[in-house]
Structure 1
Amino acid sequence: MNNIVVYASKHGTVEGIVRSLLRKSPEEILSINILKEEPPNLSDYKNIMIGGSIYLGKIQKPLTKFIKHHLDILLQKRVGLFLCAGETDRKKVIDEFNHAFPEALRKHAVAKEVFGYAYKLDEMNFLEKMLVKKMRGVTENTSALNEEGIERFFDTVFK
């Protein structure tokens, strides 16, 4: 197996995108939710995809730690970076992406995409619901995923 996707998914949006990538791939891909399990040694993989969600302007801490710890090996591999983010202002989305991933990794990556967002209020705790309502005005489950971006990302990583 030459392919791995390391991701962080709390409420299932990123995990759903990863499952979609797995279904579409003619190649085998190992998927690791870093919030639930440790990734294996990355030296065995050719293509490494890394993704997560933005919460209050940042990606999940375990994903940040993973990237920092493995940056040297990631810079020797074919890497794709993706995010799910609820921000609709394009400049802010770019800022969030740039803040989420180190510059060296962003420059090295063969694919970079923001896939949009999904708010699953029924899976959020009280505080999360209140923040989403206050910051985004969201009062019910809603989704705005960029299917074209997901396809483009997949096609680029597996060229």
Structure 2
Amino acid sequence: MKAIILYTSRHGCAEQAALALQSRMGEGTEAVNLMHTPPPSLAGFDTVIMGGSIYYGKIQKQMSEFVDREITALADKRIGLFICAGESEDKAGLELLRSFPESLYLKAKAAEVLGSEVKFSKLSLAERLVYRAVTGKSGDRGRLYTNRIDHFVSKLLR
């Protein structure tokens, strides 16, 4: 199985999740941050994992634009979807549902919230002000869910 992990990460949580997935998926799995690198052709991959962090309730536009552009090419691929979100479990689950087209979500072999990390120290001043105003919190918090990462990979490899 040839796999690629396409992700968007601004402050590092989704990148950590993507790299954890890559290490568990096996040799030859590529990982590409769409915020810095254009995606390769999907023709050579049978498994495509996509994910990113949620900001202000949405996944980054680079991921949304990629999915919209490649939805037809994704139809015959094994799909995995993930997000990292700073919200509660219920809200994060809804954000996962809203981050990808319903047809892609329903087709996915694995779809999961893989982290809830907020790296307050990496936020811009504007992001810190908004985050503090909305949540009343400051400081780094959260973590990656390694048990979910393991489960996600086992579902994809079945």
- Say yes or no: TM over 0.5: yes
Alignment of 1:13-28 (within 5 A): 13-28=13-28
User: 1:51 matched to which residue of 2?
Assistant: 51
Shift of residue 147, structure 1, vs aligned partner = 1.8
> How far off its partner does 1:146 sit?
1.9
Q: Which runs of 5+ in 1 are unaligned?
A: none
Mark the CA change 1:40 to 1:142 in structure 2 (over 3 Å): closer, same or farther. Answer: same
2:117 counterpart residue number: 118
- Cα offsets for 1:64-99 (capped at 9, x unmatched): 000000001111100000001111051x32321221
| TM-score, length-scaled by structure 2 | 0.93
Q: Give the number of equivalent residue pairs.
A: 158
Q: Percent of aligned pairs with the same residue?
A: 32
Q: State the partner residue of 1:128.
A: 127
Aligned match of 2:63: 63
Distance 1:118 1:138 in 2: 13
Does the 8 Å CA contact 2:85/2:115 hold for their aligned counterparts?
Answer: yes
Structure 2 SS opposite 1:139: coil
Mapped partners of 2:34, 2:70: distance in 1: 13
Structure 2: which amino acid aligns with 1:52?
G
The gaps in structure 2 that reach 5 residues or longer are none
C-alpha change, 1:125 and 1:53, in structure 2 (3 Å) is same
Match of 1:98 in 2: 97
Residue 36 of structure 2 aligns with which residue?
Answer: 36
Question: How far, CA to CA, are the matches of 1:149 and 1:76 in structure 2?
Answer: 25
Alpha-carbon deviation of 1:28? Answer: 1.5
**How far does residue 133 in structure 1 lie from its aligned partner after superposition?**
1.4
Q: How far apart, CA to CA, are the structure 1 residues paired with 2:142 and 2:10?
A: 16
How does the TM-score come out when normalised to structure 1?
0.93
Q: Distance in 1 between matches of 2:72 and 2:80?
A: 15
